[in-house]
Chain A
Amino acid sequence: MRRKTGELVPFEELILAAAVRLWNADDREFYGYQMAKHLADEADRKLLTAYGTLYRALGRLESMGLLQSTWEDPQKAADENRPGRRLYALTDAGLDRARSQEQSQPATTSTARGRRRRLASA
């Protein structure tokens, strides 16, 4: 079934919600592996999101203007002896979309850890 223009699939909404949480924690930029690790940790699972799924979703969010990406300074990557990272950041539109999404669906964005914390404190 074709999705409507501007409509996000659940995984893309998950990425936006995670990006806002990183934003709120002063992590304004993230890279693909970091996002996959963050999502896996929040869901308490070992296997990270598949490459195809993750980077297709990030590309779609960028094409919709909700994320923007830049390649980090090559010198920084060379100094740390690793390949360069593609850094994503929320745009203003992405931030607004993520925050309105958070307000409209507060219960569905809870994570496995959040549920366990609530159960433990009950």
Chain B
Amino acid sequence: MTSPVLATVVWLVRTWTRVYTWNLDSTIRDDRRAEIDSDIWEQVHAPDASSMVAFEILGRLLLGLSADVQWRFEQGVPTMSPRLVIRALLASTLLVVTVWTLFFSQPRTLPTTVQAPPPMRILRADAMSALPPPPPPPLCTPNTAPNVKCTKWP
């Protein structure tokens, strides 16, 4: 049974192949698509196929993207209508987003609990003795009001 990851990667390779062979001469187009399909099948069904075959196939796809585009232009500049250009761009964007979502994006997790504020420090009576003494009242002057505490001049 094919794993979902392998099935997705194979779909990606086939979709990309169809994108860059779009609008080519039918013989060249069909030959390339069939050749890639055959290669994928051989690699998946090889006697020594590893459990990471999906990632190996993805690596072969990604490392060869620029060569695929160069090959495409070597077959002749495509005569594509603006609508086809837009479809090709959308397909390419979908390909990139799918690869990114499946293999490179990290799930963001919100914290499950709100961090509690630090506990308030409550000073006990015996702790009060450790506090420094209050400053003495100011020195008395002729202008000091009668009801204000002041320190007499020594």
Contact = CB atoms under 8 A, between A and B. Distances in A.
B31 A86 contact: yes
Contacts of B39: 32-33, 36, 51
Interface centre among A33, A51, A84, A85 (most CB of B within 10 A): A51
Contacts of B87: none
Contact of A55 (B36, B41, B50, B59): B36
Contact-residue size bin, chain B (C-beta under 8 Å from the other chain): 20 to 34
Nearest to B65: A52
B67 A32 contact: no
A96 B71 CA distance: 26
Nearest to B48: A37
A54 B61 CA distance: 11
Interface residues of A, number: 24
B63 A86 contact: no
B64 A33 contact: no
B60 A49 contact: yes
Interface string A14-50: 0000000000000000011110110000000011111
A111 B34 CA distance: 31
Interface of B: 13, 17, 31-32, 34-39, 41-43, 45-46, 50, 56, 59-71, 74
Interface of A: 31-34, 36-37, 46-56, 59, 71, 82-86
